Structure 1
């Protein structure tokens, strides 16, 4: 195990020796004794993992020594061991931030041993969290989250890097399946906010009557069913990043409240009077054309300019050239790793077919197509015949057997539900039908989700 360095500061050589002997019974403890505060401070460059200090020292008291230790190394935990059974002194030191305050008596050795065990466990947990955060940051490096080397993607990398260096709001646009949330996460985990929360909200997936409570929270009793206080997504993301996907779906009545929260950097929960201060970096995304939504009166112009910030428009896959083949190879390799198989190659005919396809589902569709091809192919290389993408059903809907108008209606609703991940509210808006119509089809088992 790694050596755990402990400094003991006590001007009583007899008592210091007892503590040092007791702690040295653990073979991975390396204990060093100091008879004065100044001697301890002069050796802080050795970076001990923990320090115990006597409160009453000849050259300085425990409070003075603690403050000087923290000024140089704020992360080193300090335990005070005092001959004074004085509650006010203990409270003073605990308020300053010492990890523990022990009184010298017959039980001190055991109490100190347990306190060190507790502190070591906390330190190990913090190290594990830091390691996970570092791995998460590496996972979200721009080149890892978006595979590609085309000029349009290099431009996207440049914009993401600029966004990560500042706190400017970011608006991400692009077709479904281009990776808008992936970009938002990468910006967050490469920014100074990476150690704070990343909270993602799909505005289209929340019933309209619940959006205000989801975003801003509510107090107990603020409406029927509010059995307790609820912290909203803005508060969850405080000090971090809030990602609002499909921002164009936000009801006009709530757009004004969102604008006010963004302007004033504070909110009031539904049914509450308390103002909650906010420090949130906002990233929004939509597949809609927001300027057109503004012109149509469906989106507030002042809110549009507030959230627009740095715009990042993700290109559709069909415009990314050879990135298609690079991504196809990557997806095949990842699928092989997950299934403990050998990655398959692509024949010239397969590569040509991939380059000629239109990809209405973008990167998501390519990934699904490559995984299917890897399963269907019996050879070492995937050929054109092994690659099949979902046909464009709108052109073939009226071919084949004749159906009733109701059957065609159900088929259209099914197609849109599949396209929009079974989001009933979004499909109802897209088809301009009541959501109750779709729910009735589901209830009557005409559509199985």
Structure 2
């Protein structure tokens, strides 16, 4: 898809529903594939990343079908009964699929090769290779511990206690998933709490899992040689996708938008907390629990935002939402300071440098730090926008969507060099944006 210019928008009005949560979608396919029997999944995010997980699980022996009404039906093969894949597992652009799948297979007697696109092949895998090697799996990776890589699973694997050196839900999940087929108890110590979808959903599928605390750190213990039971999963809307509309409605004057069915898991919904601290008008309607996950409809109305110092402790609960938060900060009154974001430098792109360049090109005042950004807001005035130049997204879906949102309240519009990557996480983004702005 070629470049696209996002211009000053009419108020965003009405109701919309964002796609299913990506983290929960990946896990529902994997865990259903490990259960014995038939699971049904509704609300699955049908983006390219999640479809890569579905394709990989099929190669490992799970039977997965999409029904006409959008429900996915999975007949699982059981923990310990995965088949050796006949060809390389192509993970596309998905770091989550790769790291979780490496964990899943590490305690099975099989070998597997993982490949991915150019962006994924530059992302670090040593963070999962290290603990999985301690459990007995062996790896032949490309230089720097990247894809393509080949793995020999260990059978039986050795249970370990692993203290996470970096706050990463993917590394935690990889170790817990390896523990499913490992005799004994595998433990993960988490100095900083990260998203807990794996723990919630594994418990739902019948795994024996204990979460406790030692010396102020979270400890998760999983009992191996688990028998997972099938279950029906309802996937809540992805807070990472909702974030773009929360910010868009906050900065476009006259907006009054309801985003339905948004997952508000406290380990994920940091963006809502931070936007409220900045003065955003966000109301939670019909709060409820669906499949162990807290959910609500969010009503957001245009409101003046004020710059704040974002607490670095909230970073793990909104790590993917910082690009769009930077946009909100560009329109706020005063200075916003975001630090503790080193992890953003190893995402689909270096999101600190790329967003600094993109926002500067659109007329924002940005100072780049080693671990974050300082942004001087316009006080609600439109950004200039980009004239005669397009913003470089570096094939990163979240950069593309964040700068699209920036364009909605700009004078000259913001041209994004390529909107195709948006399909990896939010295939209906353009359509929903257009619909909300054109609601009579």
**TM-score (normalised: structure 1):** 0.24
RCO comparison, higher one (Cα < 8 Å, 6+): 2
Q: Could you say which structure has the larger radius of gyration?
A: 1
Structure with higher helix content:
1
Structure with higher strand content:
2
**TM-score (normalised: structure 2):** 0.24
